[in-house]
Structure 1
């Protein structure tokens, strides 16, 4: 059996998270706007265009029930032809409600890389989100730095 500490070192992360990759949204957001809000920082960084967001929305709103990285943590994404990836963790302080009237507060916007460099980080995030109490701890964070510190301690 792999111990938790050993398990973390098996992930050879090539993508590192920083505060820039975390957004905390205090205002109420609708289901129809949540994907666009989640991808906005990546768009502002110049790593995607609005066409990518449109493709993500089309895919996500049709298949959202399968686009999860943890319990009630959505992972909207689409295929890309770019060489580099980007990720944005969005914490909605006011829960967003999906079409089944189920609330959620975390969304991970992903721009995948052709070489799958994003996969180790996603595996690590998945393990973190499956840890008992971790999602609740993230939701109570007051700042991007708090979220980042919590994720780095895991």
Structure 2
């Protein structure tokens, strides 16, 4: 499930200079393990330039993703947690970025659905905000999956 896919794909940074850098950093584990290509990162950034900050799904949390136009090699998810929130367009401040990469539309929807069902819970969001290690985040996800 989600916790299994996130294992090894969670990282923490103090801050970034822009939302574009936040998306790039959040996608780094997927790029490093060959799940996505650099073009997919560009597609996610272009998505926000074109469509606005719709990827900010709840206050503080963004879900960068894009249509797979050859940039996704295999389905995956990564998480970047920022100590200092970064402003997205329309001044939507974000400090958690769950980057989604899906080979096909159904995989994409499954990931979004799993993640959304977790993030609508205030308690889960608060615990994610407070987590300081990959282990804490994975333990939290396993208890709610």
Q: TM class by shorter-chain length?
A: 0.7 to 0.9
- Normalization by structure 2: what TM-score? 0.83
Query: TM-score with structure 1 length normalisation?
Result: 0.78
Q: Tell me what 2:23 maps to.
A: 35
Residue 14 to residue 83, structure 1, CA distance change in 2 (3 Å): farther
Unaligned runs of 5+ in 1: 1-12
- Higher-helix-fraction structure: 2
Measured in 2, the distance between the counterparts of 1:108 and 1:118 equals 13
> Closer, same or farther in 2 for the Cα pair 1:38/1:83, shift >3 Å?
closer
RMSD of the TM alignment (CA)? Answer: 2.3
Alignment partners' CA distance in 1, 2:61 and 2:125: 9
Moved segments of 4+, more than 4 Å: none
Whichever of the two has the greater Rg, that structure is 1
State the distance in 2 between where 1:48 and 1:140 align: 29
Describe the shift of the 1:67–1:52 C-alpha distance in structure 2 as closer, same or farther (beyond 3 A): same
Corresponding residue pairs, total:
142
Unaligned residue ranges in structure 2 (runs of 5+): none
For residues 33 and 134 of structure 1, the distance between their equivalents in structure 2, rounded to whole angstroms, comes to: 26
Partner of 1:148: 138
Whether 1:131 aligns to 2:121 is yes
